[in-house]
Structure 1
Amino acid sequence: MTLFGGLAGVAGAAAAVRGTSSRRISPYDLLLMTAGTHKLARLMSKDAITSPLRMPFTRYRETGGPGEVMEDVRSEGSLRHAIGELVSCPFCLAVWAATAFSIGFLFAPRFTRVAASALTAIAGADYLQLLYAQLQQSAEGTS
């Protein structure tokens, strides 16, 4: 919490000094940020491909949703446990991701828009894949 508060405080102070603190996030950017935050948080906390990054803080338990894993937090050491709680919780990581996007929109809006757009496209593709699989299962069940 101290790290998060410090980073947000420094970013806020830098925005005030640079005069970027009065920038507003447009409704379009807010939609990009929302979908991008969702995808980034799930990617970092649940995706099988990022499990090596979480390995020092979590233990594999079982397969989760498509392309996802369920992990338990390691209990050795209070810092390791706290980091494990953060990196395995999409709701917890969403706070960090949304804060990073907010800071990005203040200091590097073009880059942030591109990154949020890519994550939004991936999230949309994920939902289309799930919808396709569900429709395919329904069609196979009725034939």
Structure 2
Amino acid sequence: MPELSWIHLVILIFASFRLTHLLVFDEITSFIRAPFLAITHEEDVDGQTIQHIEIKGTGLRRLIGKLLSCYWCVGIWSAALVVTLYWFLPASFIFLVILAIAGAAALIESKT
């Protein structure tokens, strides 16, 4: 079993965060969510936008829709994928570093 350094752990954490956000929220991956979720927006009396998520279908389709509508659920599977890539496909590390940098940049941007 390879030893996991603290810097690699930080990279894996940020990569998992960014991958989760990419799958659950980003417009670029809406085509992945579209078969499973119907998302609508409306404005309330205070001018705030309210997002409504309707899970489509039954069976497996509904299960995947429930998964994709849950940030915490997708986070578990994203972390599992990131760790699996790191562990069994060392060449994927550059991809994980890119995700980690993007994730860290997103956090910094959200604080400014």
TM-score normalised by L of structure 2: 0.79
The whole-number CA distance in structure 2 between the counterparts of 1:101 and 1:128 is 22
CA distance in 1, matches of 2:30, 2:63: 17
Identity %: 24
The residue number in structure 2 matching 1:52 is 31
The structure whose RCO (Cα within 8 Å, separation 6+) is larger is: 2
Aligned residue in 2 for 1:100: 81
Query: Which structure features the higher share of strand residues?
Result: 2
Structure 2 CA distance for aligned equivalents of residues 54 and 71 of structure 1? 14
Change (3 A) 1:62 1:48: farther
Contact 2:39–2:53 under 8 Å retained in 1: yes
Alignment map for 1:47-86 (pairs within 5 Å)? 47-62=26-41, 70=51, 72-86=53-67
SS at match of 1:95: helix
The unaligned stretches of length 5 or more in structure 2 are 43-50
The structure richer in helix per residue is 1
CA 56–75 in structure 1, closer or farther in 2 if over 3 Å, else same:
closer
Report how many residues are paired: 105
Kindly indicate whether the alpha-carbon contact (under 8 Å) linking 1:58 and 1:71 is maintained by their aligned counterparts in 2. Answer: no
Larger radius of gyration: 1
Task: Tell me the SS of whatever aligns to 1:61.
Answer: strand
The amino acid across from 1:77 in the alignment is T
Shift of 1:131: 3.2
Corresponding residue for residue 43 of structure 1: 22
Instruction: For residues 27-59 of structure 1, give each alpha carbon's deviation from its aligned partner in whole angstroms, at most 9, with x where no partner exists.
Output: 111110111101100110111221111000000
TM-score (norm 1): 0.64
